[in-house]
Amino acid sequence: MHKPNMHNSKKLNLLNDCQQYFNQNQISCALRIFKKILSTNCKDFYLLHSFGVLALNHLQPEYAIRFFLKAAKINATETLLIANIGLSYLQLKSYDQATHYFKKALNKEKNHIYTLHHLVDLYLEKKQAQQAITIIQTLMQLGETSHNLYAKLAEAHLLEQSPQNASEAITQGLSLKPLDTKLLALQSIVFSQTNQKEQENTLTNFDKFVMISTQKEHQHTYIPFTPEEFHQEFIEYITNYKNLAYNSSFFSTTNGYQTLGNLLIENNILTQTLSQIIHYNIQVYVTSLPKEPIYPITLKTPKHYRLTAWGVKLAQGGHQCSHIHEEGWISGVYYLKVPNFNTKDIHNHGGYLEVGGGKEGLYQTKPKSLLIEPHVGNMILFPSYLWHRTIPFESDQERYCLAFDAIPIQT
């Protein structure tokens, strides 16, 4: 990759400023810098590629593509650049374009590790299990053995309805990173499909691992607000939030908006109150967990953790597909506003939170799940490895909630 010369020190400063804006949730300021650089006649490959990577890492694939294509006019032979264009299209779920650029990168450099890893992701998203397995085997022959790669191999085997092979991959992955969230999530599906009820119960015992805290139970944590004030102000906060993504291809949200970045970075009285509600409920949750070391959620309990939170606004037909939070230890949701569900919604559990159940396509028989009716002021907590989704609803009223993760701090 070409290095910038001293004449580009101003652009390097802009690159650093842009990173800082993203870190501080000031995404609109970062995007203004993107637009400013794109409007100039910048011919520095390194800087254009660096801005593209920054955009890509912060879920702005459209901007990333524009920077990468500008860089390609300077040097179209750089394998990493070509692969990053493919990754940008993968974020946009433009699979044909992603495939084109990944294969173009591999034509330049047959065993380009970075490209091969993302080609696996592409095949998994397209549910092309055998192609994913072939690339994974190539990566392993090249010396790549990580817990993430074994998780991808397990997912591919589950797509092929081969839970025994998936189990072997999970065992290998857990030997490299015990208690990894993604591996535990996949293991819960394997246990379900192989009828290992006792082992499945160590991961998906909803009575032990899912906590519903009502508004009354954490009433004292709203100070200085009343619950009603807190709900109304946060609904307005999300509605007018400066960084909202609609139906973002990167998130699991459909027919709805999701705030970008960590709301808790804002550090205002509203987010401080949210933080104290979450901390209180996590403390109660951890105290209620079983102490036996057979339960991964107990073994995963860290000494220290940090919080990240975001807002979700769903409209008619809104839902979230089944997913997990790979970085998390404990995840949860807090309900700010719930629609008056119509008769069909009530019958189909529209708008409910479903915990468990697995990811569609990874099972023949759906694993057990728990349906939870949303109520304003309730907070639901559960292990981050548990699959969960929001069931589509037909009410024409909006549904507002706050989601969060408690992420272990490595010491």
| Residues 212 and 168 occupy one common structural domain | no
Query: What's the CA gap between 348 and 373, in Å, rounded?
Result: 11
The separation between the first and the last C-alpha atoms of the chain, rounded to the nearest angstrom, is 34
* Of 162, 194, 226, the domain-final residue: 194
Q: Kindly indicate the confidence band of residue 248, based on its pLDDT and cuts at 50, 70 and 90.
A: low
pLDDT at 102: 98
pLDDT tens, residue by residue, 349-392: 989 999 999 999 999 999 999 999 999 999 999 999 999 999 99
Q: Which of 231, 216, 188, 162 is nearest to 322 (CA)?
A: 188
pLDDT above 80 for 6: no
| Residues 326 and 371 occupy one common structural domain | yes
pLDDT tens, residue by residue, 285-325: 999 999 998 999 999 999 999 999 999 999 988 888 999 99
| Residues 399 and 272 occupy one common structural domain | yes
Q: How many helices (H) and strands (E) does the chain have?
A: 17, 10
pLDDT at 8: 63
pLDDT at 250: 64
| Residues 127 and 219 occupy one common structural domain | no
pLDDT at 227: 97
Query: What's the CA gap between 173 and 152, in Å, rounded?
Result: 10
| Residues 90 and 21 occupy one common structural domain | yes
Say what angle helices 79-91 and 95-108 make with each other, to 10 degrees. Answer: 170
Report if residue 240 sits inside a domain.
yes
**CATH number of domain containing 232:** 2.60.120.620
Report if residue 354 sits inside a domain.
yes
pLDDT tens, residue by residue, 164-205: 999 999 999 999 999 999 999 999 999 999 999 999 999 999
| Residues 270 and 178 occupy one common structural domain | no
| Residues 244 and 122 occupy one common structural domain | no
Average pLDDT, the chain: 92
Q: Which of 297, 314, 295, 324 is nearest to 389 (CA)?
A: 324
| Residues 122 and 83 occupy one common structural domain | yes
Query: What's the CA gap between 374 and 27, in Å, rounded?
Result: 31
- The domain total for the chain is 2
CB atoms inside a 10 Å sphere around CB 225: 16
Q: Domain span at residue 380?
A: 208-408
Of residues 27 and 287, the one with the higher pLDDT is 287
| Residues 309 and 338 occupy one common structural domain | yes
Query: What's the CA gap between 293 and 272, in Å, rounded?
Result: 34
| Residues 72 and 220 occupy one common structural domain | no
**CATH number of domain containing 171:** 1.25.40.10
pLDDT at 3: 45
Residues 326-336, mean pLDDT to the nearest whole number: 97
| Residues 261 and 180 occupy one common structural domain | no
Report if residue 1 sits inside a domain.
no
Residues 271-278, mean pLDDT to the nearest whole number: 97
pLDDT at 394: 87
Of residues 55 and 28, the one with the higher pLDDT is 55
pLDDT above 80 for 283: yes
Report if residue 37 sits inside a domain.
yes
* Of 166, 194, 222, the domain-final residue: 194
* Of 194, 216, 233, the domain-final residue: 194
| Residues 340 and 265 occupy one common structural domain | yes
